[in-house]
Amino acid sequence: METALNLFIDELVINEDFRDSFLRSPRRALRTAQEWGLPLADSEIQLLLDVKPGTWDRVAEELGWRLQAAA
């Protein structure tokens, strides 16, 4: 079973527009995810905020095609 954190990270990797939104305004993107019904814990939110921004583009580049193929 996927957790809210997994779903959020999947969206960051697969959805370039959402990733760009997150990189421009992480807290706004996190609020959007909560509106989707993703109940992220405070510790998960902090973890996402602590990741260096360039990391998400690298992860998307490395894993994005795999996740898209699996979807």
Q: Within 10 A of 22 (CB to CB), how many other CB atoms are there?
A: 24
Using the structure block, give the residue that is written with the tokens 């993107």.
29
Output the pLDDT for position 63. Answer: 77
The pTM of the full predicted model, rounded to 2 decimals, is 0.80
Give yes or no for residue 71 having a pLDDT over 80: no
Give yes or no for residue 67 having a pLDDT over 60: no
- Sequence-distant (≥ 6) Cβ neighbours of residue 23 within 8 angstroms: 53, 56
Domain ranges within the chain, ordered by starting residue? 4-70
